[in-house]
Amino acid sequence: MISFPNAKINIGLDVIEKRPDNFHNIDTVLYPVDIKDILEIIEAQDDNGSVRFTSSGLPIDADAGNNLCVEAYRLLCGDHNLPPVCIHLHKVIPVGAGLGGGSADAAFTIKMLNKLFSLNITEQGMVEYAKRLGSDCAFFINNHPARATGRGDILEPVETDIAGYILVLVYPGIFISTAEAYSSVTPEKPQQLLKDLVMQPLKQWKGTVHNSFETTIFTKYPELREIKEKLYGLGALYSSLSGSGSAVYGIFDKQVDTDKVFSGYKVWQTVI
């Protein structure tokens, strides 16, 4: 069985407060985008271990035992009698870019195992498994635009009027871990709720819909600020760091020529 785990972008991200468990309460809108890994899971033909993991494409952690796809398989094994499997991941979504690729891979593994072995886990049941793997893993079970609060695992549907616009996503090859981003951010309760701001027309988002990580991340990596400024220079209606970075995106009302402006960067351009 083959599936195509997709990336996400964050539309706004307020880091509100640090929790007693050392995580943070946040408020953000998660939006799926058409940039995808390729994930294959087949039942193993031998008994040499319960799970065999291989990968291709972009490099990932060499320790396959720490891969979230493997963790998802082992998590389900705790409640279900799963046979040995072979998992192959072709990585397209860059790691440390704020695009949720690893979380998507884990969530899609849960969905694939559920279907492949007829486990009959409900959607809510899969969401609960996904929450145990990572804060934004649960989003990729339903995989529709959602407001995420709490640690990012409390989801509610959200309607944003951006369907049909053009997304330009720029990845500069910088790795930013979630731990690094949160270590320097200053939590602050916003004056206006993000869910109200994103219901406004897209042209009003600039200057009102913010990402809390930009202040410190842009100071440490000024190249990312420059990318955002260049996206606005090309005519973006809205531009932002995605999640904790390092990918930066712009939303446009038409296709744009990015070749000269972002030469040497990885750039995707797709319809939202």
Which amino acids are annotated catalytic?
A: 8, 136
**Cα(32)–Cα(99) distance, integer angstroms:** 9
The SS3 assignment for 235 reads: coil
DSSP string, 148-194: EETTTTEEEE---TTTTPEEEEEE-S----HHHHHHH------SS-H
Distance, in Å, from the CA atom of 77 to the CA atom of 65, rounded to the nearest integer, reads 15
Report the distance separating Cα 217 and Cα 229, nearest Å. Answer: 15
**Cβ-based neighbour number of residue 51 at 10 Å:** 21
Q: What residues form DSSP beta bridges with 121?
A: none
Angle at 177 between CA 188 and CA 233, to 5 degrees: 70
| Residue 94 DSSP symbol | P
CB atoms within 10 A of CB 27: 21
Q: CB–CB of 87/73 below 8 Å?
A: yes
Among 36, 39, 25, 29, residue whose Cα is nearest residue 9: 29
